[in-house]
Amino acid sequence: MTQATRIKPEPLHGRAAGYVGTDVAAVRKRIEALEHLLEGLFVIPGINRKIGLDVILDLIPIGGDAVGAAMGAYMVWEARNLGMSKTQMARMMGNVGVDFALGLIPFVGAIPDALFRSNSRNLKIIRRHLDKHFPSSVIVEQR
């Protein structure tokens, strides 16, 4: 008996790829869009460093960091739905936890948070899993 929240590889070929749905391609797009929102929304002029909503939320004491951690935990939830191992999910939750702990320092916590980039690390873990277990969902990026 399967769980209703797990993603099965079968629906991948029958649907148009989009952000809504339970197929692997839609989950990949959702996770990549969330990572872009949290880590790469703006570029700081002069140093060409990308920052996102995660760093901006750190400027709001405690509550902002909790919202950023919740959004990072959503990525881990999506990873669980993809069938990733408990070890990979624990590593991802560790990344979110370190990001949360660094952000607890009011105002100054945004600096190490901008450098640690837990959501980008988690996206790499998810991409490795997807590329290995769902090779048909691989997206070739052009430059």
Q: What is the spatial distance between Cα 132 and Cα 63, in angstroms, rounded to a whole number?
A: 37
Q: What are the structural domain ranges in the chain?
A: 28-134
Confidence of residue 24 (pLDDT cuts 50, 70, 90): confident
Contact in structure between 47 and 36 (CB atoms under 8 Å)? no
What token pair was written down for 122?
Answer: 């988690």
CB-based burial label for 105 (10 Å; 0-12, 13-18, 19+): middle
Long-range contacts from 57-64, C-beta under 8 angstroms, 24+ separation: 57/103, 58/103, 58/109, 58/110, 58/113, 59/107, 59/110, 61/106, 61/107, 62/104, 64/103
* Residue 84 pLDDT exceeds 80: yes
What are the DSSP calls for 92-123, one per residue?
HHHHHHHHHHHHTSTTTTHHHHHHH-HHHHHH
Find the mean pLDDT for residues 77-99. 94
Confidence of residue 5 (pLDDT cuts 50, 70, 90): low
Give the bridge partners for 50, in sequence order: 43
* Residue 9 pLDDT exceeds 60: no
Least confident residue range of 3-17, 18-32, 92-106: 3-17
* Residue 59 pLDDT exceeds 90: no
Q: What is the spatial distance between Cα 134 and Cα 68, in angstroms, rounded to a whole number?
A: 28
pLDDT at 103: 86
Query: Helix 24-39 to helix 118-133 angle, to the nearest 10 degrees?
Result: 160
